[in-house]
A and B are shown apart, each in its own frame.
Chain A
Amino acid sequence: GAVVSQHPSRVICKSGTSVKIECRSLDFQATTMFWYRQFPKQSLMLMATSNEGSKATYEQGVEKDKFLINHASLTLSTLTVTSAHPEDSSFYICSVPTGLASTQTQYFGPGTRLLVL
């Protein structure tokens, strides 16, 4: 499977600031990466699909202007939380899919804990 890293692992910021989270595929070239969010004691919710060289596709209810995604290369996708508010505090996780499209397995990064004060 793919080895995925995220940076930073934890970030605390003030309300109104922007935070950038990096997701790197260390051993696999990924044309697609996925971004998820998990609130405490809840499930993982898909936020968006990051596409290398093109615009990300967002799930219903996810504001594209608030959660900016840039997939600059086959190994790097970034998620920027703009004008962060306390309700954006969550655990953000990226994943890299491998295998055939119909039987893809997603390998996840270690996650980034965001706390907005």
Chain B
Amino acid sequence: DQQVKQNSPSLSVQEGRISILNCDYTNSMFDYFLWYKKYPAEGPTFLISISSIKDKNEDGRFTVFLNKSAKHLSLHIVPSQPGDSAVYFCAASSGNTGKLIFGQGTTLQVKP
């Protein structure tokens, strides 16, 4: 049972344009969501997070939107840069366990 889903395995965008990465979840108990960026053979790097009490959080070029009623979150990267090319994972946690449930990942390619 995949509680966190990233239905797009890959995404390709042109440099300077917006990248939108999507994530859906099924567990209504999730109350904290995170996005990570990962290169092959490396550990994930934290990008941005959002609590369920908010619907938007912004940090530089990265903005995360949360739609609780739809159980959907998205990561916007604007403007996209070639260095953003990587695999992006969304993750969710609930309560005080701290345990993260990860989506399958979306490979982003930003073309120069």
* Same complex: yes
User: Given A43-B105, A104-B93, A105-B34, are A110 and B98 neighbors across the interface (CB < 8 Å)?
Assistant: no
A113's contact among B34, B41, B45, B49, by CB below 8 Å, is which?
A: B41
Which chain B positions have C-beta within 8 A of A113?
A: 41
**Pairwise interchain contact A46-B100, C-beta atoms closer than 8 A:** yes
B98's contact among A4, A42, A43, A97, by CB below 8 Å, is which?
A: A97
Quick check: is B25 within 8 A (CB to CB) of the other chain?
A: no
Quick check: is A108 within 8 A (CB to CB) of the other chain?
A: yes
Docked Cα-Cα span, A46 to B102, in Å, equals 9
**Pairwise interchain contact B46-A107, C-beta atoms closer than 8 A:** yes
User: Given A108-B45, A110-B42, are A49 and B34 neighbors across the interface (CB < 8 Å)?
Assistant: no
The count of A-to-B residue pairs whose CB atoms sit within 8 angstroms is 62
Which chain A positions have C-beta within 8 A of B102?
A: 43-45
Interface residues on B, range: 20 to 34
**Pairwise interchain contact B98-A101, C-beta atoms closer than 8 A:** yes
Least Cβ–Cβ distance between A29 and chain B, in angstroms = 15
Least Cβ–Cβ distance between B91 and chain A, in angstroms = 8
**Pairwise interchain contact B43-A106, C-beta atoms closer than 8 A:** no
Quick check: is B31 within 8 A (CB to CB) of the other chain?
A: yes
Which chain B positions have C-beta within 8 A of A111?
A: 41-43
Least Cβ–Cβ distance between A87 and chain B, in angstroms = 20
User: Given A102-B32, A107-B46, A110-B42, are A42 and B104 neighbors across the interface (CB < 8 Å)?
Assistant: yes
**Pairwise interchain contact B32-A44, C-beta atoms closer than 8 A:** no
- Closest chain A residue, CB of each to CB of B44: A108
Seed contacts A49-B99, A103-B49, A109-B43; 15 additional CB < 8 Å A-B pairs: A34-B99, A43-B104, A44-B44, A46-B100, A46-B101, A93-B44, A97-B98, A102-B31, A102-B32, A103-B51, A105-B46, A106-B98, A106-B100, A108-B46, A110-B42
